[in-house]
């Protein structure tokens, strides 16, 4: 159990500390993420230069395949050194916030950055956005450790860092804020919100100074879909919900298949996707790495239907092969690419079957990205905000909501669990931790009763206190009183509550409203 000193805090001082704390985390997380992005960009450029140099020369190809195998071994050793650097990184951050995991921040940063860079150099179909969330979170945790913050502030800084990492990775600060609250924190707390906003803004400022003002995806939608064609959006949502459920199943199945390979040591499993990448480099190079080449092709409408289907299936299967191996990289960016191709295919069919012009295909591409993301991750608000930031307008908000809600419902009805929750469950299962039997860590929190408190002069039993907490003592001047139901609350009392750490944010906000003071 973590204890903190019982002291009355100045609410104005606390508010200022939250703002400056968010800025500090945003700067550190933004710098780490920008460095990671730069390394990955250079690695991807080098990859395609190597492919062009070796193509058509058998000896050069053989040397490159040998180098890929060596890269796979190095990445495998990095994961063996720090297991929490495996995969996306988002489930690990969720596990940390829920109290199941305690990551070594500097080892994760080291292993993730080096391993992720080598994976992109090797052409693996992995994204940088999931790792950026983990890198940002670990940067926030590292800053908290170095500055010796309390457990509560450390958790706030981890959440802030996660959102800052995503903001810097996508050049989308609002999406970073919403994702950190919706997917990492799992609740909307005022203190965490202001910290996340300042952190995401700071990280986004750093990122845009390096990479420019445009978001990673930028789509110009010239036409708004009229209401009479909204039936196509319902169909699109159904398709995306089904495809999202299939995606989750295949991704998890890929991990199971790797786990059943008896003739390769665990440290060398990652060599498999590296060698497959070496083969695809000379047959289907566009599906390698994150998928920027695929986006450029589809936004220019230069692909035939058959080609789009081949790219979609190829990217899907190769992503499952890469991610299932446990390589340090995410699915965030690749799944958006797949969503875009699903939208392009659906839009091509819809425009040929209706009076819609081909200009509307871009609308379906953008809407499908949000819907597919929601069906897989089950974070609808993030999906909507992310796409709105990409397009730079909220004119398509209604159509976004229709597609996102339908895909969300369909995925749920099909019994598909959110991918990051499923992945977290597997991580904990390997560690022998059962989520349903886990004893939540408790935190002592103190709250000062202000002059405008609704609990003032009330018996403790007569006040509607929040769930997941228990008032244990009251500090009245130099006197410590054991809290009872009949104890009357006075102005200036400091209430000491035992709180489930997972619900600390919610409980804190409720006490702030009841006591009329801001405390931490």
Domain ranges of the chain: 11-211, 227-269+278-430, 440-515
End-to-end CA distance of the chain: 16
Pairwise CA distance, residues 104 & 92, whole Å: 11
Nearest to 30 by CA among 121, 103, 136, 130: 136
Q: What is the pLDDT of residue 3?
A: 42
Q: What is the pLDDT of residue 5?
A: 41
For the stretch 279-299, pLDDT in tens is 999 988 888 887 777 887 787
Q: Say which residues have a Cβ less than 8 Å from residue 369's Cβ, sequence separation at least 6.
A: 217, 336, 339, 340, 343, 383, 387
Domain 227-269+278-430 CATH assignment equals 1.10.3080.10: yes
Pairwise CA distance, residues 6 & 8, whole Å: 7
pLDDT band at 520 (very low <50, low <70, confident <90, very high): very low
Given a cut of 50, whether residue 11 has pLDDT beyond it is: no
Pairwise CA distance, residues 197 & 22, whole Å: 8
Q: Say which residues have a Cβ less than 8 Å from residue 140's Cβ, sequence separation at least 6.
A: 25, 28, 29, 157, 158, 159, 160, 161, 162, 164, 199
For the segment(s) 11-211, the CATH number from 2.40.50.140, 3.90.1150.10, 3.30.470.20, 1.10.3080.10 is 1.10.3080.10
Q: What is the pLDDT of residue 480?
A: 84
**How far is CA 362 from its chain centroid?**
25
Q: Say which residues have a Cβ less than 8 Å from residue 85's Cβ, sequence separation at least 6.
A: 78, 79, 107, 108, 111, 112, 115, 328
Residues for the chain: how many in total?
Answer: 520
Given a cut of 50, whether residue 8 has pLDDT beyond it is: no
Pairwise CA distance, residues 374 & 372, whole Å: 5
Given a cut of 90, whether residue 187 has pLDDT beyond it is: no
**How far is CA 395 from its chain centroid?**
26
Choice among 322-326, 373-377, 392-396 with the minimum mean pLDDT = 392-396
Instruction: Please give the backbone phi and psi of residue 362, each rounded to the nearest 5 degrees, phi first.
Output: -60, -35
Given a cut of 60, whether residue 492 has pLDDT beyond it is: yes
Q: What is the pLDDT of residue 437?
A: 47
Nearest to 166 by CA among 388, 424, 382, 394: 382
Given a cut of 50, whether residue 51 has pLDDT beyond it is: yes
Instruction: Please give the backbone phi and psi of residue 204, each rounded to the nearest 5 degrees, phi first.
Output: -65, -40
Q: Say which residues have a Cβ less than 8 Å from residue 20's Cβ, sequence separation at least 6.
A: none
For the stretch 369-384, pLDDT in tens is 999 999 999 888 888 8
471 sits in which H/E element: strand 469-476
Q: Which residue has the higher pLDDT, 439 or 262?
A: 262
Nearest to 362 by CA among 351, 375, 352: 351
Share the mean pLDDT of the chain: 86
Q: Which CATH class is domain 440-515?
A: alpha beta
11-211 and 440-515, same CATH topology: no
Q: What is the pLDDT of residue 301?
A: 63
What's the rounded mean pLDDT across residues 2-13?
45
* C-beta separation of 480 from 495 below 8 A: no
For the stretch 92-130, pLDDT in tens is 998 888 778 889 999 999 999 999 999 999 999 988 878
What's the rounded mean pLDDT across residues 165-190?
83
Choice among 56-60, 87-91, 300-304 with the minimum mean pLDDT = 300-304
What's the rounded mean pLDDT across residues 53-80?
94
499 sits in which H/E element: strand 494-500
Q: What is the pLDDT of residue 2?
A: 44
Instruction: Please give the backbone phi and psi of residue 492, each rounded to the nearest 5 degrees, phi first.
Output: 90, -10
* H helix runs in 88-189, sequence order: 90-97, 105-121, 129-146, 151-170, 173-179
Q: What is the pLDDT of residue 449?
A: 87
The rounded radius of gyration (Å) of the Cα atoms in the chain is 25
Given a cut of 80, whether residue 310 has pLDDT beyond it is: yes
**pLDDT > 70 fraction of the chain, expressed in percent and rounded:** 91
**pLDDT > 90 fraction of the chain, expressed in percent and rounded:** 41
Q: What is the pLDDT of residue 349?
A: 93
Pairwise CA distance, residues 475 & 201, whole Å: 39
Q: What is the pLDDT of residue 451?
A: 78
What's the rounded mean pLDDT across residues 145-170?
87
Q: What is the pLDDT of residue 15?
A: 60
Enter the tokens of residue 126.
């992995």
343 sits in which H/E element: helix 332-353
* C-beta separation of 115 from 85 below 8 A: yes
* H helix runs in 414-486, sequence order: 419-430
What's the rounded mean pLDDT across residues 327-354?
90
Query: How far is CA 330 from each of CA 149, 162, 233, 496, rounded to the nearest angstrom?
Result: 30, 14, 28, 41
* C-beta separation of 411 from 245 below 8 A: yes
Given a cut of 60, whether residue 439 has pLDDT beyond it is: no
Instruction: Please give the backbone phi and psi of residue 471, each rounded to the nearest 5 degrees, phi first.
Output: -75, 120
Nearest to 479 by CA among 469, 467, 490, 468: 490
**How far is CA 285 from its chain centroid?**
27
Q: What is the pLDDT of residue 9?
A: 45
Pairwise CA distance, residues 475 & 362, whole Å: 62
Q: What is the pLDDT of residue 371?
A: 94
Q: What is the pLDDT of residue 199?
A: 93
Instruction: Label each residue of 228-278 as H, E or C.
Output: HHHHHHHHHHHHHHHHHHHHHHHHHHHHHHHHCCCCCCHHHCCHHHHHHHH
Instruction: Please give the backbone phi and psi of residue 445, each rounded to the nearest 5 degrees, phi first.
Output: -125, 140
Q: Tokens 């408790």 map to which residue?
A: 442
pLDDT band at 261 (very low <50, low <70, confident <90, very high): confident
Enter the tokens of residue 102.
């305690």
């Amino acid at each position: 159990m973590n204890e903190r000193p019982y002291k009355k805090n100045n609410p104005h001082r606390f508010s200022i500390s939250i703002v400056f704390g968010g800025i500090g985390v945003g700067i550190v997380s933004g710098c780490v993420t920008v460095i990671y992005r730069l390394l990955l960009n250079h690695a991807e450029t080098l990859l395609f230069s190597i492919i062009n140099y070796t193509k058509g020369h058998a000896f050069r190809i053989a040397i490159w395949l040998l180098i890929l195998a060596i890269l796979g071994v190095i990445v495998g050793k990095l994961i063996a050194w720090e297991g929490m650097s495996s995969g996306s990184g988002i489930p690990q951050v969720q596990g940390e916030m829920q109290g199941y995991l305690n990551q070594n921040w500097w080892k994760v940063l080291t292993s993730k950055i080096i391993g992720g860079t080598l994976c992109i150099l090797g052409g693996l179909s992995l994204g940088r956005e999931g790792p950026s969330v983990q890198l940002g979170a670990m940067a926030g945790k590292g800053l908290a450790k170095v500055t010796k913050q309390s457990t509560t502030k450390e958790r706030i800084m981890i959440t802030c860092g996660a959102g800052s990492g995503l903001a810097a990775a996508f050049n989308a600060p609002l999406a970073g804020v919403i994702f950190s609250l919706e997917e990492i924190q799992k609740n909307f707390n005022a203190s965490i919100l202001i910290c996340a906003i300042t952190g995401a803004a700071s990280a986004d400022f750093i990122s845009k100074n390096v990479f420019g003002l445009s978001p990673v995806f930028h789509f110009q939608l010239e036409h708004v879909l009229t209401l009479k064609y909204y039936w196509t959006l319902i169909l699109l949502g159904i398709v995306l919900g089904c495809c999202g459920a299939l995606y989750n199943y295949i991704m998890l199945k890929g991990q199971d298949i790797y786990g059943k390979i008896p003739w390769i040591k665990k440290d060398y499993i990652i060599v498999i996707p590296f060698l497959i990448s070496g083969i695809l480099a000379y047959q289907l190079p566009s599906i390698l790495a994150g998928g920027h080449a695929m986006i450029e092709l589809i936004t220019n409408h230069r692909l035939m239907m058959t080609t789009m289907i081949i790219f979609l299936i190829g990217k899907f299967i190769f992503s499952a092969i890469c991610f299932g191996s446990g390589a340090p990289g995410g699915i965030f960016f690749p799944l958006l690419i797949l969503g875009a191709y699903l939208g392009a295919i659906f839009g091509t069919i819809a425009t040929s079957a209706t009076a819609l012009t081909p200009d509307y295909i871009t609308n379906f591409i953008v809407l499908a990205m949000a819907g597919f993301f929601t069906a897989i991750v089950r974070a609808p608000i993030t999906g909507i905000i992310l796409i709105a930031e990409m397009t730079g307008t909220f004119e398509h908000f209604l159509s976004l909501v229709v597609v996102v809600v339908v895909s969300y419902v369909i995925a749920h009805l099909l019994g598909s669990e959110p991918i990051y929750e499923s992945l977290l469950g597997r991580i904990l299962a390997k560690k022998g931790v059962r989520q349903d039997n886990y004893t939540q860590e408790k935190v002592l929190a103190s709250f000062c009763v202000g002059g405008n408190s609704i609990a003032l002069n009330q018996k403790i039993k007569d006040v509607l206190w929040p769930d997941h907490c228990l008032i244990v003592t009251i500090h009245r001047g130099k006197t410590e009183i054991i809290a009872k139901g009949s104890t009357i609350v006075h102005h200036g009392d400091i209430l000491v509550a035992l709180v489930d750490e997972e619900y600390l944010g919610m409980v804190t906000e409720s006490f702030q409203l009841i006591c009329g003071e801001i405390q931490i």
